Amino acid sequence: IKMLLDVKNLSIYYYTLAGTVKAVENVSFAIGKREWVSFVGESGSGKSTVAYAILNLVPSPGQIINGKIIFEDKNILELTNEELREIRGKEISMIFQDPMTSLDPLRKIGDQIAEVMIEHGIEKEEAYEKAKELLKKVNLPEDRISYYPHQLSGGQRQRVAIAIAMAFNPKLLIADEPTTALDVIVQDAIMDLIGTLKDEGTSIFFVTHDISLAAERSDKIAVMYAGKLVEFGRVEQILENPLHPYTQSLLASVPDLWSEKEIKAIPGYPPDLRNPPSGCRFHPRCPIFKEKPALKGICDVTEPKAIEIEKEHFVACHLHR
């Protein structure tokens, strides 16, 4: 299959006064047309940094130091600002955990939805007409067009953000924890809306720290640990046959309502990415490394490379070579 997005060897560092944070290191993955890929991993594992990189929006002092981001045969990282503006909001849209980061508190909802279309060359009248349709599509009453963001609930604001993201039937939607701040019922409705986008042909890059949420709707799951992509595969492969010890720990830490199974939190802490562990970044916390003396001198010395174990299922761990 032809891929919509092909990310190769992406590395991103933050150059802070306290040192260089190696936030993303050598990450490669691809997203096909109409595919929903969810990125999971603990706080600080680099999920948002990868998400921002796709639109070349990594905030300062972050810098993409290596890699290619191929979107439909173009390397995003080589585009001019104007070419990028053309793509943003039209071919690639983005929504965030807090919809207020993209909404202007001082302007009416309708103006903000229409603006995106006007910016991309649509006549004013048509843009407002389309804005009404979009509100309907995200299940908001038409009169919300003249509301200000503060007059809406968090869930309604997220619907507005999605309406804006939908304006051009984008090829890719980047969604960074769009439901984290919402209660469960609203969360579900927002997931449904993203599902609607996918049904209409949009590919989804979804970020969550909740692997059970990822499991619900995704086609594929990408597991990040300390700036590395440690496992990537189809949902069934990740859930039924997790290969990386970190993925296994993540799954073991999911609360299971239907069993008495004890929840095991992952012992230890994510490493300081200014000085990441040698070899496999997970080795200081890896239960298998602790158990098997034979891994000494391997896991703590040599970085494991990602390999394809079965079709579309990649893992970076010395246990799988």
Where on the chain is the footprint of ligand ATP (CB under 6 A)?
14, 16, 21, 23, 41, 43-49, 59, 61-62, 209, 273
Q: How far is CA 57 from CA 76, 88, 98, 172, 220, in A?
A: 11, 10, 17, 15, 24
Please give the residues from 292 up to 321 whose contact with ligand SF4 meets the rule CB under 6 A: 295, 299, 304, 317-319
Residue 152 or residue 299: which is nearer to ligand SF4 going by CB? 299
Contacts 24+ apart (CB under 8 A), 288-292: 288/245, 288/319, 289/245
Residue 276 is classified by DSSP as: P
Instruction: Provide, rounded to whole angstroms, the least separation between the CB of residue 27 and ligand SF4.
Output: 16
Stretch that binds Mg ion, among 28-36, 42-50, 183-191, 211-219 (CB under 5 A): 42-50
Please give the residues from 241 up to 260 whose contact with ligand SF4 meets the rule CB under 6 A: 244-245
Q: Binds 289, which of ligand ATP, ligand SF4, Mg ion, none (CB < 5 to 8 A, cut-off by type)? A: ligand SF4
Instruction: Provide, rounded to whole angstroms, the least separation between the CB of residue 228 and ligand ATP.
Output: 11
Instruction: Provide, rounded to whole angstroms, the least separation between the CB of residue 290 and ligand ATP.
Output: 24
Assess 228 for contact with ligand SF4 (CB under 6 A): no
Residue 44 or residue 62: which is nearer to ligand SF4 going by CB? 44
Q: Which residues contact 135 (CB under 8 A, 6 or more apart)?
A: 109, 113, 141, 142, 144, 145, 160, 163
Cβ–Cβ under 8 Å, residues 150 and 144: no
Please identify the residue of the shown chain whose CB is closest to the bound Mg ion: 48
Instruction: Provide, rounded to whole angstroms, the least separation between the CB of residue 48 and Mg ion.
Output: 3
Pick from 4, 7, 31, 48 the residue near Mg ion by CB under 5 A.
48
Residue 170 is classified by DSSP as: -
Residue 260 token pair: 């008495």
The Cα angle at residue 186 between residues 184 and 190, in degrees rounded to 5: 115
Q: Binds 29, which of Mg ion, ligand ATP, ligand SF4, none (CB < 5 to 8 A, cut-off by type)? A: none
Beta strand 3-16 with 19-32 is antiparallel
- Looking at 167-243, list the stretches that DSSP marks H as alpha helix, in order from N- to C-terminal side: 184-199, 211-217, 235-240
Instruction: Provide, rounded to whole angstroms, the least separation between the CB of residue 115 and ligand SF4.
Output: 47
Cβ–Cβ under 8 Å, residues 277 and 300: yes
Pick from 39, 205, 289, 314 the residue near ligand SF4 by CB under 6 A.
289
Total chain residues near Mg ion (CB under 5 A) = 1
C-alpha closest to that of 314 among 244, 254, 265, 250? 244
The crossing angle, in degrees rounded to 10, of helices 184-199 and 154-166 is 10
Cα–Cα distance between 122 and 207 in angstroms, integer?
A: 31
Residue 171 or residue 244: which is nearer to ligand SF4 going by CB? 244
| Beta bridge partner(s), residue 233 | 221
Instruction: Provide, rounded to whole angstroms, the least separation between the CB of residue 271 and Mg ion.
Output: 17
Cα–Cα distance between 259 and 234 in angstroms, integer?
A: 25
Residue 171 or residue 318: which is nearer to ligand SF4 going by CB? 318
Instruction: Provide, rounded to whole angstroms, the least separation between the CB of residue 175 and Mg ion.
Output: 11
Pick from 152, 221, 286, 306 the residue near ligand SF4 by CB under 6 A.
286
Binding site for Mg ion (CB under 5 A): 48
Binding site for ligand SF4 (CB under 6 A): 244-245, 280, 282-283, 286, 288-289, 295, 299, 304, 317-319
